[in-house]
Amino acid sequence: MAKQRVTRTLVVEAAARHVNTYGFAALTLAPIAAKLGIKIPSLYNHVDGLDALQAALAGYGAQALFLRCQDAAIGRGGADALLAIAEAYRSFIILNPGIYAATLHPQSQPNPELVQANRSLMELLERILIPFELSGADRTHVLRGFRSIVHGFATLEESGAFGLPIDMNVSFQTIMTAYITSINKPRRAVSLL
Amino acid sequence: MAKQRVTRTLVVEAAARHVNTYGFAALTLAPIAAKLGIKIPSLYNHVDGLDALQAALAGYGAQALFLRCQDAAIGRGGADALLAIAEAYRSFIILNPGIYAATLHPQSQPNPELVQANRSLMELLERILIPFELSGADRTHVLRGFRSIVHGFATLEESGAFGLPIDMNVSFQTIMTAYITSINKPRRAVSLL
DNA sequence: ATAAGAAAACTAATGACTTTTGATTTTATA
DNA sequence: TATAAAATCAAAAGTCATTAGTTTTCTTAT
C-alpha cells in the first residue's frame, strides 16, 4: 500500500496537532515536515512559508471553535444556550490550547478566513442574546464579559494557574451561572400551541 | 561623566521594557545587551543565561503586580476594594503586557520569588473577601471568577480582540460590578464609635 | 498503453539568529 | 598596588526559514 501523498489539509492538521502538544511558540517547519515524513522544502509545495501556515492554522482554529459553539446552541435558547456555548468554548480551549493561541496571534497579513470565523461567532452570540432585549451598548458589554470569563478561565486553567484541588467544572458553572443571571431575564419562548 | 556600570537590576529592567514593547516572545539576549551598551557575553556577569533572566523577570513582574493591587486596596473594603483591585490589576496588564506574560510563562526551574508573589496576591484577595463570609469552596470559586474576568478582559483588550468603538472602561466597570454584586453582600464595617 | 505535463519531493546551500563557553583585557575598588 | 568585578574577543554549535535546481512520481490525454 502506497503512502498517502501530503496535501495542504494534512499540513495544517499536522501543525494543529503539534501546537496542541508543544505550544504555539513551538510551531516551526522542522517537526511538521518530520511528522509528515517529508523534508522541510517540500512543505513549500503546500504552504507559502511559516507565516502562511500560521495564518492557515488561525483560520482553521477559529472556524472549528465557531462550529462547536454553533453546535452547542442547537435546540437551546436563552440562559441554557449561553451556558452550553460557554462550556463548548471552554472545552475547545482546554482540548486545543495551541490552536486557540494561533487564533489569537497577531496576523502579519490580512486573514479573511479568520475574520469571517470570528464574525460568525459574534453573530451567533448576538443572536442568542436577542431575547434578553439589551440595548446596543449593553449588548457589547455583556458580550465582552462573556468572552472575558470564558477566555480568562480556560487559559488560566490550561496554564495551571488554578492550583487548588477544587473541581474546575463546578467553579466554571458557578461563575458562568452567576454572570448569566446578572443579565436581564429573557422573555420566555412564545408558545405556538 | 563616566557611564553607569551595568547591574543585575538594570538588566532585568531593560528586559522588562523590551518585552513590554516587543512582546515576551521577543526576549533574547541581543537587544538587552544592545540597550545596555554592552556585548552579549557580558550579560552573563549579571544573569545566568536566558532562562534565569526569564525567571527573574517573572518574579519581578509578579511582585510589581501584587504591590499595585495591595496599594489599590488601602483605605477600601468590600466591593469597593474588589473593584479597585480589579482596576489596578487590569491597568497593570494593559501597561505591562510583556511583563505580565512573563509572569504566566511556565518556569523551567522552581521560582520561589514568583511563587511568593503569587501567594501574596491570593492572600490579599482572600483577606478582602472575609466580610463576604463565603464557605471554603465558594471562596475558591469567587476567586477564580475574579481572576478569570480580570485576566480575560485585559488580555483580550490588549490583543485588540475587542474591535468595537465602545468604551473599554465602561465595559470593564459594568462587568466587574455585575460580578461583584452577584457575590453575597458583605456585612457593613463594625463601628467603633 | 504510453507519452506529456504537472505536481510533489528532494539535495544542496545560504544567511541570519540563537545561546553559551573560555580566555583575556579593562576598569573600579579596597 | 593588589584584587575582584565587569566587559571583551573569538569561537563553537545549533536552529531557523527560505531559494534554486533537479529528480521522482502521479495523472491525464492521446
- Determine what percent of chain A is predicted with pLDDT higher than 90: 89
CA distances B48 to A29, B8, B23, B53, Å, are 30, 10, 21, 7
Work out the burial of residue B9: count CB atoms within 10 Å of its CB; fewer than 13 is exposed, 13-18 middle, 19 or more buried: exposed
- For A139-183, how does the pLDDT look when each residue is reduced to its tens digit (9 = 90+)? 999 999 999 999 999 999 999 999 877 899 999 999 999 999 998
Q: Tell me the one-letter amino acid at B126.
A: E
- From A9's Cα to the closest Cα of chain B, the distance in A is 27
- For B105-114, how does the pLDDT look when each residue is reduced to its tens digit (9 = 90+)? 999 999 999 9
The residue ranking higher by pLDDT, A1 or B78, is: B78
- For chain B positions 118-137, those within 8 Å of chain A (CB to CB) are 137
**In chain D, which nucleotides are within 7 Å of a protein Cβ?**
5-11, 15-21, 26
CA-based nearest residue to A71, from A162, A63, B172, B98: A63
Per-residue pLDDT, B164: 80
CA distances A149 to A59, A86, A155, A161, B95, Å, are 23, 9, 10, 15, 21
Asked whether residue B189 carries a pLDDT value surpassing 60, the answer given is: no
Contacts of B12 (CB under 8 A, 6+ apart): B47, B53, B56, B57, B60
CATH fold label, A8-184: Tetracycline Repressor; domain 2 (1.10.357)
Q: CA angle, A127 as apex, A124 and A129 as ends, to 5°?
A: 115
Long-range contacts of B178-181 (CB under 8 A, 24+ apart): B178/A145, B178/A179, B178/A182, B179/A145, B179/A178, B179/A179, B179/A182, B179/B145, B179/B146, B179/B149, B180/B79, B180/B82, B180/B83, B181/A182, B181/B79
User: Are the Cβ atoms of B164 and A104 closer than 8 angstroms?
Assistant: no
Joined together, the cell numbers standing for residue B100 give 505580565
Q: DSSP state, A109?
A: S
pTM of the model as a whole: 0.94
Per-residue pLDDT, B2: 44
Joined together, the cell numbers standing for residue B18 give 523590551
The shortest CB-CB distance from A152 to any of B25, B149, B178 is to B149
A76 membership: H or E segment, kind and range: none
Q: DSSP state, A1?
A: -
- What end-to-end distance do the CA atoms of chain B give, in Å? 60
Per-residue pLDDT, A165: 76
Residue whose CA is minimally distant from D16 C1'? A28
User: Are the Cβ atoms of A137 and B25 closer than 8 angstroms?
Assistant: no
Joined together, the cell numbers standing for residue A167 give 473541581
Per-residue pLDDT, B192: 55
Spell out which residues of chain B touch residue A179, defining contact as CB-CB under 8 Å.
145, 178-179, 182
Joined together, the cell numbers standing for residue B89 give 490589576
Cβ–Cβ under 8 Å, residues A124 and A143: no
Nucleotide nearest to A53 (CA to C1'): D17
DSSP-based three-state secondary structure for B137: helix
- For B161-177, how does the pLDDT look when each residue is reduced to its tens digit (9 = 90+)? 998 878 999 999 999 99
Q: Tell me the one-letter amino acid at B34.
A: A
Per-residue pLDDT, A189: 52
**Residue ranges of chain A with pLDDT lower than 50?**
1-2
Per-residue pLDDT, A193: 52
**Can you spell out the DSSP letters for B139-183?**
HHHHHHHHHHHHHHHHHHHHTT---S-S-HHHHHHHHHHHHHHHS
Please give the biggest Cα pair distance in chain A.
64
Spell out which residues of chain B touch residue A148, defining contact as CB-CB under 8 Å.
148-149, 152-153, 156, 175
The region, left, alpha or beta by phi > 0 then psi within -120 to 50, assigned to residue B133 is: left
Report d(CA A151, CA A172) in Å as an integer: 11
Joined together, the cell numbers standing for residue A90 give 471552554
What are the domain boundaries of chain A? 8-184
Cα B101 vs. chain centroid, distance in angstroms? 9
Report d(CA A155, CA A143) in Å as an integer: 18
- For B4-39, how does the pLDDT look when each residue is reduced to its tens digit (9 = 90+)? 789 999 999 999 999 999 999 999 999 999 999 999
Q: What is the mean pLDDT of chain B?
A: 94
- Determine what percent of chain B is predicted with pLDDT higher than 70: 93
Per-residue pLDDT, B7: 96
